[in-house]
Amino acid sequence: MIVVPLFDNLRVKDYGLFPGANNSYDVVLDFSKGLSVIAGVNGLGKTTLLQMLLRELSGPYDITGVGPPNSYEAILPEKPVQLRREGLSYFSQRVADGAENAIATLYLSFKDTQVSIGRNLANLDLISFEVSGEQIELPENRESKETLFQEKITSLFNLASFVDVLLVLHNLVFLTERREGALWDPNAQRHLLGAVFLDKDLAKSTAHAARSVVSLDSQFRSTRQQHTKFSKQLDEALIREEASPQVKAQLEATESALSGSVEQLMQLEEEFEELKENQRELRLVLEKAKLENESASGAVERAKYSSLMHIFPKMEDSAKLLISRILSEAECLVCGAEASAKKLELEELLIKGFCPACGADPESQTEKAPAEKFEKAKMGKARKSAALAASELKKAHAQYDTVMKKCDETLTSILSLKTDVGGLSGTKDQLSALLPDDSDYVKTLRKTVGGLSSAMNSERANLENARDEFSIELASARVKIVDASFNLSNKFSSYIKKMLVEDASLNQQKGMARVGQMGDLFEFPTFVAEMAAADRPGLTPRIRPNDVSESQRELIDLAFRLALTEVATETGHATFIMETPEASLDGIAMARVGAALKEFYKQKDNCLIVTNNLTNAGMISSLFGGKASSDTEKNSRFETVFNLLDHAAPNRAVLNSGNEYRLLLQESIVGESLDGKRG
């Protein structure tokens, strides 16, 4: 039988969430035998206190790095796993000072053995550990310290390992709001039943045999995977040897084509570089021709104006402006029209010496300057230079465009040829991979495959032996669990009848599970809840959590835990800790559940610790058994309630409505309305 301790009290010092009624920051929660209630509105620290109770015993370790798993694996870890940073800082992150000096000390008793555990809440470090009045000397190394603690606690629980201690804490002692429930998880149920019903030696040997199966199973699968890998390589090497002649011929043809393409590609790339250089040179020529053309065109314009000014010096300014605008801009200042034709006409007149206004020939003109012939010659020269510059620009454009076109064509050919070279290179690599390996490589592969075959045969034999040993251990374990099944079913029936209106029972069945990923299934004894249905006769198995409603699921799991605790600790006592038992219950169901929980804590001096958030404070009255019959009973009830409204740092709800909440709590404790005291 296992030993589940009685929690005597918890002392919390210098923790910001719990200043206490006198602001001493030294709070003590007494858990006398029977019922203890931690009451307060949401946000005052009920869950934090329950986590303290848990972490005092578990320390900075758990079944996984984040706590209990949502669903259990077929095999539990051999050793507990250190919590991750968020788990270690659970308490420190809730207070401003990081809980640097905060200490929680739990006092509890395993039968006649008194134990106290003190931990620093900043990091869960163990700072004191006392057993039967003797202070245990703790190593300085944290890991060694926790190992020593875990060994002694495991012995006090009378369990096979500290992992089993964690399993019992999560699935038997603490029922938190997460409400997973071992009954609904086949692996969790199997582990829990083994932990509580098998003696320590059998539990250890069964767990060791199961881990051996898993380890050898993993080793065999790894060897088989390697054997498959190298066998495939050997087969491929032998295929390459057989296909060698054809592959070599294809490879030679491919290499020849690849060589020709690479040579052609190199030539094209050289040509492309030469073309790019030529393009750069022609670009300079083109830019120079553009400049010269612009300069020559400007000279023509200047010659036109100069001729106009010097040949007809007496021309009115307005006439000069009109003719100049047509000559320079091909625009008429009179009407604004485009005047390109007129521009050409005027240019011809000026070159021949005719008057740009009336068209009179040189012989008829009386108001012309003696510089006429000189200006004519100068304009003719400018026009000739402009024509030559335009011709050079046209030639430069043509040369540049020709080179640009050839560059584009060459680049297109290069890209196409690179694609061909890439394809031929890939084909060459593929064909090369198909060539046979050297004889030493094939010999090595044969030797490797042969060695792996031998290893597989040996590991297969070891695995089968381990399975046989596990089957033998499991057979003994089945007997132990089956022997306890009758009492467990009866206790379950007793509790569930008090909590549910529907008929329900707990039946032992054969469960099947695979240890490792290979081989046959092993038979494990499991328990399945059966429950009446409105539309069918008899009881129907409810295997999965979704087979019942949320409240039914929680109550079935609660009955299973209480029954298992009572059967597993038949000669002793136990503590059961439940967070908000009123969750998802209506008023009538709450009264039934309260009566069932009262039955549990009344027998064998069990300790029942529950929290209540005052949203359904009637649960407290139900746990006490209704209305108090005397002042003595009222006072006794108040002594069992730890009122967070007075001991916790007040939140906004308490600051605004603290008196109303206190009155509500008083009414739930005494079990009657105190309307006369309201207001």
Closest to 216 (Cα-Cα) out of 523, 465, 3, 496: 465
DSSP symbol at 218? H
Both tokens of 536, joined, read: 């069918």
More confident residue, 114 or 526: 114
pLDDT at 678: 46
pLDDT at 369: 47
Query: Is the Cβ–Cβ distance between 608 and 597 less than 8 Å?
Result: yes
Name 305's Cβ contacts closer than 8 Å, sequence gap at least 6. 324, 327, 328
pLDDT at 55: 97
pTM of the model: 0.69
Least trusted range by pLDDT, from 123-127, 133-137, 156-160, 423-427: 423-427
- Distance in angstroms (rounded) separating the CA atoms of residues 514 and 497: 35
Query: Is the Cβ–Cβ distance between 649 and 19 less than 8 Å?
Result: yes
Both tokens of 463, joined, read: 């695995």
- Distance in angstroms (rounded) separating the CA atoms of residues 264 and 414: 9
In the predicted structure, residue 159 carries a pLDDT above the cut 90: yes
pLDDT at 521: 75
Closest to 608 (Cα-Cα) out of 599, 621, 619, 617: 599
Strands 34-39 and 607-612: what pairing? parallel
More confident residue, 34 or 383: 34
SS3 523: strand
pLDDT at 679: 40
Strands 607-612 and 641-643: what pairing? unpaired
86-110 confidence digits (pLDDT tens) = 999 999 999 999 999 999 999 999 9
- Distance in angstroms (rounded) separating the CA atoms of residues 303 and 297: 10
Percent of the chain scored above 70 by pLDDT? 87
- Distance in angstroms (rounded) separating the CA atoms of residues 296 and 302: 10
Closest to 491 (Cα-Cα) out of 581, 603, 623: 603
Helix (H), strand (E) at residue 249: helix 244-311
In the predicted structure, residue 300 carries a pLDDT above the cut 60: yes
- Distance in angstroms (rounded) separating the CA atoms of residues 169 and 3: 12
354-377 confidence digits (pLDDT tens) = 776 676 766 676 655 454 555 566
pLDDT at 372: 52
Kindly state the average pLDDT of the residues 159-188. 88
Both tokens of 451, joined, read: 């060695």
- Distance in angstroms (rounded) separating the CA atoms of residues 184 and 180: 8
- Distance in angstroms (rounded) separating the CA atoms of residues 554 and 303: 109
In the predicted structure, residue 427 carries a pLDDT above the cut 70: yes
Closest to 504 (Cα-Cα) out of 563, 446, 418: 563
Please give the mean pLDDT across all residues of the chain: 85
| Max avg pLDDT among 216-230, 325-339, 574-588 | 216-230
Kindly state the average pLDDT of the residues 194-218. 88
SS3 534: coil
Both tokens of 565, joined, read: 């605790």
Kindly state the average pLDDT of the residues 477-497. 87
Burial track 141-158 (b if 16+ CB lie within 10 A, e otherwise): ebeebbebbbeebbebbb
Percent of the chain scored above 90 by pLDDT? 34
- Distance in angstroms (rounded) separating the CA atoms of residues 379 and 76: 108
Least trusted range by pLDDT, from 1-15, 406-420, 422-436, 615-629: 422-436
Both tokens of 658, joined, read: 């603290």
- Distance in angstroms (rounded) separating the CA atoms of residues 140 and 142: 6
What is the DSSP track for 135-197? Answer: EPPPPSSHHHHHHHHHHHHHHHHT-S-HHHHHHHIIIIIEE-TT---GGG-HHHHHHHHHHHH
Kindly state the average pLDDT of the residues 169-173. 93
224-278 confidence digits (pLDDT tens) = 999 999 899 888 777 766 666 777 778 778 888 888 888 898 898 888 888 888 8
pLDDT band at 179 (very low <50, low <70, confident <90, very high): low
